[in-house]
Amino acid sequence: MLVWRQKKYKKVYTVEDFIEIRRAKGLSECSNDKENEGVHNFCADAFATWKPVDNDFEYVIPTSSKQLKASMTSINKAIELAPTNSEIVDNINYVTNIINADTKRYFDGSVKLIVVTAIVGLLAWWRIGFNMAVIFFVGIILYVVQV
């Protein structure tokens, strides 16, 4: 299966970036404890839907695109709060790096199956006609791009 994803977070955030965001929103330059707690909760929520590996609750991975989307929603909410605490900013960067690592493009299918299906599709086109070959080629496309 081919997953067509790119990095969602192309920027490494800094405290200065968030100070500029806060200025643009008309907020104070420093985030308060309530906002920092909210950001911390959003960062924790980013991992809430991920599945533990081998019943080990310390190591979790996303197993579907829905889980990644939920994580990105949580992180986007954390970024909107624009924290100015350097530890929390580092935590946001850590979570965005994990999300970027899990959304890279990769192929996880059988090349042999694709080649055999293409050959059968070409033979079907040659012997039976275009209409039958279309079924094989649509099958290849659906196999390669399924998510």
Identify whether residues 99 and 121 lie together within a single domain: no
Within this chain, do residues 76 and 20 fall inside the same structural domain, yes or no? Answer: yes
Question: Residue 54 region, left (φ>0) first, then alpha (ψ -120 to 50), else beta?
Answer: left
Are 97 and 59 found together in one domain? yes
87 with 137, same domain? no
Residues 75 and 37 in one domain: yes
Confidence of residue 107 (pLDDT cuts 50, 70, 90): low
80 and 11 in a single domain? The answer is: yes
Average pLDDT over residues 108-129: 78
pLDDT tens profile 61-80: 777 778 888 888 999 999 99
Judge if 27 and 92 occupy the same domain. yes
Judged against a pLDDT cut of 50, whether residue 3 lies above it is answered with no
Residue 86: pLDDT above 80? Answer: yes
- What is the number of structural domains in the chain? 2
Same domain membership, residue 62 and residue 21: yes
3-state secondary structure of 119: helix
Could you list the residue range(s) of the whole structural domain that residue 18 is in? 2-104
pLDDT value, residue 90: 92
Q: What is the pLDDT of residues 8-40, one digit of tens each?
A: 778 889 999 999 989 998 888 888 889 889 988
Residue, of 97 and 117, whose pLDDT is higher: 97
Do 116 and 98 fall into the same domain?
Answer: no
Q: Is the pLDDT of residue 134 over 70?
A: yes
pTM: 0.64
DSSP 128: T
Token pair 């990644």 is found at 68
Is 97 found in the same domain as 119?
no
**Does one domain contain both 86 and 61?**
yes
CB atoms within 10 A of CB 88: 21
Are residues 42 and 80 part of one domain? yes
